[in-house]
Amino acid sequence: MEQLNNGTMNTILSIIILSYNTADITTACIKSIFANYKKEIDDKTLEVIIVDNASTDNSLSAILNLQFTIFNGRKRFKIIQNKKNVGFAKGCNLGAKNAQGKYLLFLNSDTQASDKGFLQMIEFLEKNKNIGVLGGKLLNPDGTSQASGGNFYNLWNLFIMLLGGERLGLVRKEAIKKESVDWVSGACMMIRKELFEKLNGFDEYFFMYIEDMELCFRVKKLGFEIYFYPDIRLFHKMLGSSNRKFAIMNIYKGILYFYRKQMPFWQYQAAKLMLACKAGVLASLGNKTYEKSFSYCRE
């Protein structure tokens, strides 16, 4: 960890966690961080920032209660309370604006740390200035690896994804070794704050989903690499605050915006056609979720 000239410790890492109606898993995530990084939090080389997106359950009170039940009334993390649900991208950007760390770690609330791997990720970035974003390995509750990044959704990969090829590891893949990839999941994404600010953070048009891929796309356009970092044990329950219908709608919407923003117009049109065809076929089979997606793709 870096030190200031006066001998005091500088804040190196800011962990930003977005919370929305996930009281139990968010508090479990916070507890796991403090269990593994108590020293770093006490000496303020590491800070935790919770952004609550106007939860309607007891999430906020449960998080606030931790200050008293676990930390004896001492403020051991920052809490930002939004008046409405502004989505993942904007919520993370708000957390980043309030961060003091040299590095930012965006961490899903349904994760639990089980080692000091975040410190190793910092050391890896310190030694590799050409890497702009580092994604940590995600584990299922049973210890098996999760797909946590992979290749950009170019037209070919989008076609494979729509055919269900992601389940076979043809587009997404697991963090098995340290290697360069196109993008990594926002469930555990570390980036230098200076670079994040240069990019103006996540694109806030994305409410949820695809914003991590699009940020990595812009990082690579600046000449930096995106890397997997497997030497970390971070369990990911995948029990977020969205349902399947919400996810499909926002993934489709996000992909179309990604193409409209970053790709040639003809590719945007081709992607739109593929998404509409997939949604249309499934809508004809009675899938109401895809019926709404089909309507969106035709706009």
**pLDDT at residue 237, rounded to an integer:** 86
Residue 285, Cβ density class (10 Å: 0-12 exposed, 13-18 middle, ≥19 buried): exposed
Residue 200, Cβ density class (10 Å: 0-12 exposed, 13-18 middle, ≥19 buried): exposed
Q: How many CB atoms lie within 10 A of CB 129?
A: 9
Among 69-73, 75-79, 234-238, where is mean pLDDT lowest? 69-73
Asked if pLDDT for residue 287 goes beyond 70, the answer is: no
Asked if pLDDT for residue 164 goes beyond 80, the answer is: yes
**pLDDT at residue 85, rounded to an integer:** 93
Asked if pLDDT for residue 297 goes beyond 50, the answer is: no
Domains of the chain, with CATH numbers?
Answer: 13-236 (3.90.550.10), 244-297 (no CATH)
pLDDT, tens digit, for every residue of 135-163? 999 999 888 999 889 999 999 999 999 88
pLDDT, tens digit, for every residue of 42-57? 889 999 999 999 999 8
Asked if pLDDT for residue 96 goes beyond 60, the answer is: yes
Contact 256, 268 (CB under 8 A): yes
Choose among 208, 215, 140, 142: nearest CA to 182. Answer: 215
Provide the CA 162 distance to its chain's centre, in angstroms: 22
pTM here is 0.89
